[in-house]
Chain A
Amino acid sequence: MKKKQLLAALMAGLMLVSTGCSASSDDGGNSSDGGDSGEITITIPSYKTGENVGAVFFEPQVERFNEQYEGQYQIELENVTEDVFNDQMKQLAQQNALPPLVQGGDKEWLRTVVFPNGMAYDISGWLEEHPEIRELMLDDAVEYCTEDDGAIYSVPLATVRPTGFFYNSAMWDVADQDLSALTMDEFIDLMGDQKIAFSTAENAWVSALFLTALIADEEGGVELLNSGIEEKITDFTQPQIVSAVEKLQSLLQNNASANSIGAAYPDAANAFMSDQASIIANGPWMSTDFEETNSENWSNGFDGADVRASLFPNQVGIAQTQSYGEWWISADASEEEVECALAFIEFIYTPEELEAYLLAEGGDAPNLEYSEEFVAQQGETQVLADLAADTTEDTVYAPCILDVIPSSVANSDLSRLLPSLADGTFTAEEFCEQLTTAASEATAE
């Protein structure tokens, strides 16, 4: 008897909600033209929403756009999980149901499927009509995004965010020195027994950044890393890598913070923000963690105001300029939708918006003449000012090692093998041989 009642209640509830569903699922479509006012509305799925770190800047930016173009254009955001975003775009593309404006997606998929098959809208004509935007874009990026037939699908980036490292000047008092001007050996000497926050789990992010800097320091290392953009590096027994791994091993054994083995990124970040390590490699976006508003994550006497930043020795900044940008437009988008999407791209490439972005997330727009206001504001955030001061014409850009090796090696094999390098089970050579085996199995035809 009870069971039947429960079932009946369930069914009743079902009907109730289902009517609610059908009423609300209408506005769940990808796009619709706002009726009465002639306003063009597009809906874009984005993971930079809600709790995502990217939302802090992106959501207000969209609001600013909607305000500026009120009555003309409107962008609505749908909250998509970062984990499934790429899968969802792939599936929607197969159904010809892509949103008009797409925020990224799997790079390999874009390169081999979307762009060659005419699934994206060519913006090269539009760029020609907007030389002021074209001029802001990085030349490397434009070149990379230009297909053989001259078409441009991915909107090339105008900003670069060279990654260096942060250090706690209260623990390591070297703020009077230009660390990026040192050689790597000088830097390691100077470091003495300072602790570095390392991680080995997931993709071993902060360790991989150091490894990249160590490889870039070797003779021909930057060229080696750059060569991996076209064709992934699979031979890890090359002398530059072995020598860099040797140094990494010594750092892991002598300078690693106590919790490094098995640490994921949050463990490493916490080691830094609790004074258990004085150095951590990471991108400029980490600067927000050092602001007073996030002080609840500090402990053990750590003070964000003590944090300084620098590029790596030999003026190495880890960044990949030869890559796709963040946005592209679907070939299925209607004329109005394209108009609105392009208006949005134009909006985010205005100097004001680019500067706002740089202030929020760090980085540099080499082709942009900064306003005085911007420079003053950037100076207020110590670490961003530090990085800006280090970023000059002489800065050497190198892509992160994780981006130039087979993905499975980056995402799984590194974390599998790094603990054994750290505890001395493997010598540097053995570690590199293991990586090479993994890479050759990962690329076997």
Chain B
Amino acid sequence: MKKKGIKPGRISKNHWERKNYKWIYLFLLPTIIIFLMFYMMPILQVFVTSFTQWDGFNEPVFNGLRNYKNLFTSSAFLISLKNLFLWALIAMFLHVGFGTLIAFVLYQRRRGWKVTRAVFMIPNVISAAAWAMIYRFFFNNNFGILNSIIRKFNPDFDVQWFYQSPWAFWAVTLTWLFYAVIVTLLVFGDLMSIPQELNEAAIIDGAGGWQLIRHIQLPLCRSAIATGVICSLTSRITMYEQISLTTAGGPGNDTMSLPILLVNAVTDYRYGYANAIGVLMFVIGLVMMGIINKAFRMNDSDY
């Protein structure tokens, strides 16, 4: 269904691009300036001091790969990598899947779709501290909502969701799984910009509802979905408060994450070690983005 438009202007377009380099760089200038002002120093500092022993106040002392070696021999670190990997998979398929599903639901424009879209953003504006309390009440063993419902069917049910293996991992997962408003907004925006004629033409061609979605609408949302995947993956890499305010990484190391380790290192004034974790988060993030970019062919335009 994709229109591989003939590109008559390929060569002349390149020429036109070159002619406009000054515009291109002028357009990038504000972003570059903001980057230099706010991010250049921190990024350099994170990289450089990750090879040092540094308490954050006194002069850093070079210690080679020591921080990295300590990291890779720490069981908490290895488990956080494993958790991140699992959470990334869940984010990619279930979280983004749910967000996309809701975008398609909204796109049907049944009664209530406007309200649904408006309220979906609300969870994003409530502070983490309040969220943590809400989760605790939701998952509480004695009077939590979840267990109250389950006990209607199974009166003997007794699980401390956040504090028992293996439930804690899933309880933490549930704290973010359905809150996929960013994905929904991105995909919905792309859906809205599909011309009505295209849908109608397909229906005339005999495409049923499912085929319409599968062959026309979904492919046209490809870059929105990919952007959603990247946004949700990076939030998994940086996920901190949902964990620190509920399980703190426990029970054992079941819900340990890189940001928890990073903040712990900062509390102990081990900035070199903390920044080594920061470097690894950069690396993981870049690798993930590279993979997603390739998988979704994001550098190609739709048309």
Contacts and interface: CB of A to CB of B under 8 A. Distances in A.
Contacts of A108: 269
Interface residues of B, number: 38
A113 interface: yes
A438 B74 CA distance: 9
B302 interface: no
B211 interface: no
Interface string A387-424: 00000000000000000001110011101110110010
Contacts of A437: 75
Contacts of B162: 262, 419
A113 B244 contact: no
Q: Which of A200, A407, A443, A445 has its CB near the most chain B CB atoms (within 10 A)?
A: A445
A236 to B, nearest CB: 16
A112 B58 contact: yes
Contacts of B245: 201
B268 A445 contact: no
A262 B163 contact: yes
B250 A425 contact: no
Given A408-B268, A423-B164, A445-B66, A259 B244 contact: no
B70 A441 contact: yes
Contacts of B141: 261
Given A113-B58, A423-B163, A445-B53, A416 B251 contact: yes
A87 to B, nearest CB: 11
Contacts of B249: 412, 416
Contact of B163 (A261, A411, A441): A261
Given A262-B140, A412-B267, A420-B251, A112 B57 contact: yes
Contact of A259 (B58, B142, B163): B142
Contacts of A126: none
A112 B76 CA distance: 29
B238 interface: no
Interface of B is mostly: loop
A271 to B, nearest CB: 12
* Interface range on chain A (Cβ under 8 Å from partner): 20 to 34
Interface in B144-168: 160, 162-165
Interface string B263-285: 11101111001000000000000
Contacts of B57: 90, 109, 112-113
Interface in B37-76: 53, 55, 57-58, 63, 66, 70, 74-76
A423 B264 CA distance: 25
A258 interface: yes
A190 interface: no
B84 to A, nearest CB: 17
Nearest to A109: B57
A419 B251 contact: yes
Contact of B264 (A112, A259, A412): A412
Contact of B248 (A109, A407, A415, A441): A415
Nearest to B133: A264
B265 A408 contact: yes
A12 interface: no
Nearest to A442: B268
A420 B252 contact: yes
A411 B165 contact: no
Given A261-B160, A420-B163, A412 B248 contact: yes
Contact of A416 (B63, B66, B140, B248): B248
Contacts of A413: 248, 264
B163 A419 contact: yes
Contacts of B251: 416-417, 419-420, 425
Contacts of B246: 262
B75 A408 contact: no
A21 interface: no
Given A113-B57, A419-B160, A411 B250 contact: no
B136 interface: yes
- Which of B140, B245, B253, B264 is the most central at the interface, judged by chain A CB atoms within 10 Å of its CB? B264
Given A109-B57, A416-B247, A416-B251, A407 B267 contact: yes
A411 B267 contact: yes
Listed residue (B75, B136, B163, B245) with the most chain A CB atoms within 10 angstroms of its CB: B163
A444 interface: yes
A252 to B, nearest CB: 12
B268 A407 contact: yes
B221 interface: no
Contacts of B55: 112
Contacts of A408: 264-265, 267-268
B260 interface: yes
B188 to A, nearest CB: 21
10 contacts: A113-B57, A262-B140, A262-B246, A411-B267, A413-B248, A416-B247, A417-B251, A423-B163, A441-B76, A445-B53
Given A407-B268, A425-B164, A442-B265, 15 more contacts: A258-B142, A262-B136, A262-B140, A262-B246, A406-B268, A408-B265, A408-B268, A412-B267, A415-B250, A416-B249, A419-B164, A442-B268, A443-B268, A444-B70, A445-B66
